[in-house]
Structure 1
Amino acid sequence: MNRRPHAVRVPVWLVPVPWTLALGLWGLSRQRSVWRDEAATWQVARRSVPGIWHMLGHIDAVHGLYYLLMHGLFGCFGAGTTTLRLPSVLAMAVAAACVAAMGERLAGRWPGIGGGTAFGLLPAVQFHLQEGRPYALVAAGAAISTLLLVGALQDGGRRWRAYGGVVLVTALLNWLSLLILPAHLLTVLWAGAGRGTVTRWAAASAVAVAGALPLILVSRTQSAQVAWIPPTTWHMVIGPVVLVAIGALAALAGRPAAGRLPVAAVGLPLLAVPQFGLVGLSLVQPLLLDRYVLFSMLGLALLIGAALDAAVRAAAPRFPRAAPWLVPVALATAMAALLPQSLATRSWDSRVDDVRAVTGEVRRLKQTGDAVLFIPVARRDSALVCPDDFAGLRDIALARDPVASGTLSGEEAAAERIRSAMLAQRRILLVTDAAPAGRPTPRDRAKSAVLARYFTVVADRRARGRRVTVYERNRPGPPARHAPRGGRA
């Protein structure tokens, strides 16, 4: 008897995962640039575990798990832009796979393929796809937990322990990811889950919150490190409102499949609740930065996938052959429209500055016996990321190095001691921003005053947002001549 061969069913993730990986690997080095936030990851990851733990007691406890992870990767693969950014690329690929799997579970293959592929194209995702920071990993954790939630609601399986564990690990990467819990609660209620399901979700969520509570309490004592974030104003809310409006329109366009949990029940809360939740928190403590709720883009991608599927269904009766090409054509059109933005994102000047660019100028300009100063103190990150280029230079303002002080930039001496040390130098290299910003500290004002009064600029170079200036000590002038008595002065 002849058996009909079974059709090979290609997994839905097979399209968005390589697509997202390709987007992430494209221009990964960004002209070998590393900007100041990534420089923090770079230099902390190169410390010992006790050194990292010591620092977390003073600053950046919120990123502690991420720093320990990067310490392990730097130890295995060495420090470099690939090691720095590849975890984010892989994490976003995992997130895209989860979006595809959720889309297929909720509405079918086209919503899965469309949503998973659209995720990698979203501008916010493309920006953080190549960032040496934890936000892509948070997005991946949020995607996995949401997929587990969808599976539990559909199958009634025993996924709640895994769900709680993933939510906890994600919160340890950044506890603002806990904004996903009220979004998931809305999904549970929208699904009409029974009391037992609601109870199991609440128990898993409570365990995750309790596990993250020590980190939340410690990081709240370090809130000064986000004091630079401006207070929330009405125009800062426009972006979240527009994103949620786009998601709502996509939700209206999508049609729920019979007997399935609607895509909108998962995607709309996942998009809206973190966005508006962060706005609410920012009214108490300014925190309104889109990267803190990057994981909300998972919801937008899901809704876009559902809208694309609705368009395919609408076109199928009249254009049966062309309808299957609608999703690839729409994604290709979006890629073409976003190409200028994609190219800009992969350029060094898409970020504030390039920590490494100025180090080549330092290497060329320095001479034996030179001293170095940094204004502000955070610009010391150039020396911490590329110490070989600063070899031989004496950091005359530094009192305690970053590792010993448990800080990112070290502790500097008092202004008077810095002034005395500067006056003992023949040449000083100053590393600073190309365009000064913010109020200078008393130490920085003292540095600038001594340089202006007692030193002369002999070289000045600018490179990708940073500046290095070489100062030489003024030579004492000839003694003043006194007019003879009775003569003209």
Structure 2
Amino acid sequence: MTNLLSSSTAAIPTVRPSQTGPIGLLRRLRAHPGGDPAIAGLFGFLVSVAFSWVPSVWFDESATVVSATRSWKQLFAEVQNVDAVHATYYALMHGWFDLVGYTPFTLRLPSALAVGVAAGLLVVLARELTTRRTALVAGLLFVVLPRVTFMATEGRSYATATALVVALTLVFVHASKQTLKNPSRFVRWWLLYGVVALASGAVFLYTVLIVVAHGVTLALWSLRGRRARRAQAWRSPIGGWLVSSAIVGACLVPLALLSSSQSKQISWISKPDFSTLVSIFTWPWFMQNLPMAVFGWALVAVGIIAVVRRRSRYDAPNVVQIAVPWILVPVVGLIVASTVLSPLYSPRYVAFAAPAVALLMAAGLTSLKFRAVIGAGLIAVIALTAPSYVEQRQTEAKDSSSWSEVAALIAKERALEPSGATDAIIYGPIRRHPAASARNIAYSYPDAFEGMTDVTLKTPAAETGSLWETRYPLSETIDRVDGHRYVYLVTSNRQDLRPSVTSALKAEGYDVDQEWSLTWVNVVRYER
């Protein structure tokens, strides 16, 4: 009998290189129905979370910190007076901090997760509208857009709202298609649409504009079907959208009215002018990365042309019918409202249209057909967005904030002080935000300031029913420095309190020990 184990003629099993290693794993993953969304979602999370802890916390994020770390009762009292528009997001972050605790990393982690979720859902949505290849490319392009890589590292609601908007658009497409197929059984889909729309609007009120955009999409879709003389039951999907939208609008009216009464908190926004219109080309989704903006809009134009020229099915909206209203309605709506009523438009407020931009870019890129060209296009996008990504992961990337450096400096100096030394601190103004103080740095990096006596504190922020604490003039509380060996002053380099504080502390027997100047912040240590 032939020994097959020792025979030189025995067949030796071989493993194809393509089935092993990262490429093989990628192919096996793509073979699974949920593989492409998983790839885009994982890619989105990893790109987003990488180095997210490096940039210093800045003013807007400190509002999240000081709101979400107070008690539920205190948070409820706050949103009656200020930031009602962010109440739902603050509540979500409150629950998150209860679970994992606060650090700058945990502050931003939900946004990185939200970008991953949005990328995965965008792939699912795009597969309903176009090819599998275009869907995956759309998910990958979305992740690296400069606006997306920025909001992924920010402890604010923009990334979460974007994920909800993608989910809402996916439900909208399914609801419309299912209603056309069976007009008598559409209630559950439009009920789900209303629930997701309500959640989206509660997290970020301006996302209700995507509901309007869906109305435009439905009108374009139905008009196209009617012109083609297709016998479609358009009344049912339009009716479902109208009823759901009306209910959502009614539910959000109280939030809109309360937020409107607090509009002074966005008084920094100016009325749109010609420069605003020009900036739409580079700011909302490309964040002034001009080469990427030129390349991105070129792909968008190619994508629109390719979709319009292609004959598509009438039982589903095409990419242009979904994406163009998604982009235009929020931008035009906010600019018109800012012109007619009061200023409301800011480029960050339309961040939730980034998936639509990526969708059209992907349609343009994949219309070129050849894999090598598509691959080269993806590489070009990554190369063009890389400078923005690197810049966004620098320490002072967010509004030139140097707060982490200030906190590190104070922590280091306090660690070098003699054992048993006690510290007081005076928080001066913070640049460009007259209602707040440099105590925002301590809210954002509490460990560095633990145990220090805040000399001028009157009422802690959590007890004011507003965002920030109230403070006494230094002249009324200067005696609180008694018993402390060191006094620190942290103040803006513009509203600089160094001369007046130095004079007041001199009378108490304190002399300047050391001074430091950081970006927008001056720090002084006095010793007695």
Range of TM-score over shorter length: 0.7 to 0.9
- CA displacement 1:88-137 (0-9 Å, x = unmatched): 11111221122212221111112211111111111111110111111101
Instruction: Tell me which amino acid in the other structure corresponds to 2:246.
Output: A
Partner of 2:263: 223
- Structure 1 segment 192-341 matched on structure 2, within 5 A: 192=222, 194-241=234-281, 247-254=300-307, 255-259=309-313, 260-283=316-339, 284-312=341-369, 323-341=370-388
| SS of corresponding position for 2:102 | coil
| SS of corresponding position for 2:409 | helix
**Structure 1 CA distance, aligned partners of 2:64 and 2:374?**
38
- CA displacement 1:186-210 (0-9 Å, x = unmatched): 1000110712211110111111111
Q: 1:358 to 1:368 in 2, by over 3 A?
A: same
CA contact (8 A) 1:170 1:177 kept: yes
CA contact (8 A) 1:358 1:464 kept: no
Instruction: Tell me which amino acid in the other structure corresponds to 2:269.
Output: I
- CA displacement 1:244-283 (0-9 Å, x = unmatched): 9654553123354531422100011101111121212222
More divergent stretch after superposition (327-336 vs 289-298):
327-336
| SS of corresponding position for 2:491 | strand
CA contact (8 A) 2:57 2:444 kept: no
**Unpaired runs of 5+ in structure 1?**
1-6, 313-322, 474-489
Partner of 2:449: 390
2:139 is the alignment partner of 1:116: yes
2:476 is the alignment partner of 1:420: yes
Aligned length: 444
**Structure 1 CA distance, aligned partners of 2:72 and 2:193?**
29
2:228 is the alignment partner of 1:173: no
Partner of 1:72: 95
Instruction: Tell me which amino acid in the other structure corresponds to 2:50.
Output: W
2:516 is the alignment partner of 1:458: no
- CA displacement 1:21-57 (0-9 Å, x = unmatched): 12112212126x3222222222322211112111111
Partner of 1:410: 469
CA contact (8 A) 1:168 1:212 kept: yes
**Structure 1 CA distance, aligned partners of 2:103 and 2:76?**
23
Q: 1:420 to 1:42 in 2, by over 3 A?
A: closer
**Structure 1 CA distance, aligned partners of 2:220 and 2:471?**
56
Instruction: Tell me which amino acid in the other structure corresponds to 1:373.
Output: Y
**Structure 2 CA distance, aligned partners of 1:118 and 1:348?**
25
Q: 1:371 to 1:86 in 2, by over 3 A?
A: closer
CA contact (8 A) 1:184 1:269 kept: yes
Q: 1:448 to 1:110 in 2, by over 3 A?
A: same
| SS of corresponding position for 1:151 | helix
CA contact (8 A) 2:61 2:155 kept: yes
Q: 1:449 to 1:80 in 2, by over 3 A?
A: closer
Partner of 1:61: 84
Residue from 167, 176, 183 that aligns with 2:213: 183
**Structure 2 CA distance, aligned partners of 1:78 and 1:147?**
33
- CA displacement 1:361-388 (0-9 Å, x = unmatched): 2344565253423214332112223334
**Structure 1 CA distance, aligned partners of 2:438 and 2:302?**
45
Residue from 23, 26, 30 that aligns with 2:54: 30
Residue from 335, 339, 347 that aligns with 2:394: 347
- CA displacement 1:319-368 (0-9 Å, x = unmatched): xxxx2343333112211222121111111221121433212323445652
What displacement does 1:295 show? 0.7
| SS of corresponding position for 1:34 | coil
Residue from 345, 365, 368 that aligns with 2:422: 368
**Structure 2 CA distance, aligned partners of 1:424 and 1:28?**
39
Partner of 1:148: 171
CA contact (8 A) 1:103 1:111 kept: yes
CA contact (8 A) 2:193 2:244 kept: yes
Partner of 1:358: 406
Partner of 1:484: none
**Identity level (%):** 28
CA contact (8 A) 2:122 2:166 kept: yes
CA contact (8 A) 2:455 2:481 kept: no
Q: Could you tell me the TM-score, scaled by structure 1's length?
A: 0.84
What displacement does 1:175 show? 0.6
Instruction: Tell me which amino acid in the other structure corresponds to 1:293.
Output: V
Partner of 1:126: 149
What displacement does 1:397 show? 2.2
**Structure 2 CA distance, aligned partners of 1:204 and 1:378?**
44
CA contact (8 A) 1:240 1:276 kept: no
CA contact (8 A) 1:457 1:470 kept: yes
Q: 1:27 to 1:143 in 2, by over 3 A?
A: same
CA contact (8 A) 2:198 2:248 kept: yes
- CA displacement 1:268-326 (0-9 Å, x = unmatched): 110111112121222232232222111111211111121122111xxxxxxxxxx2343
RMSD of equivalent CA atoms: 2.5
2:509 is the alignment partner of 1:468: no
- Structure 1 segment 38-117 matched on structure 2, within 5 A: 38-117=61-140
**Unpaired runs of 5+ in structure 2?**
1-29, 180-185, 223-232, 286-295, 415-420, 431-435
CA contact (8 A) 1:36 1:355 kept: no
| SS of corresponding position for 2:428 | strand
Q: 1:411 to 1:162 in 2, by over 3 A?
A: same
CA contact (8 A) 1:36 1:354 kept: no
Instruction: Tell me which amino acid in the other structure corresponds to 1:240.
Output: I
Instruction: Tell me which amino acid in the other structure corresponds to 1:22.
Output: L
What displacement does 1:393 show? 3.0
Q: 1:378 to 1:276 in 2, by over 3 A?
A: farther
2:38 is the alignment partner of 1:14: yes
**Structure 2 CA distance, aligned partners of 1:369 and 1:143?**
50
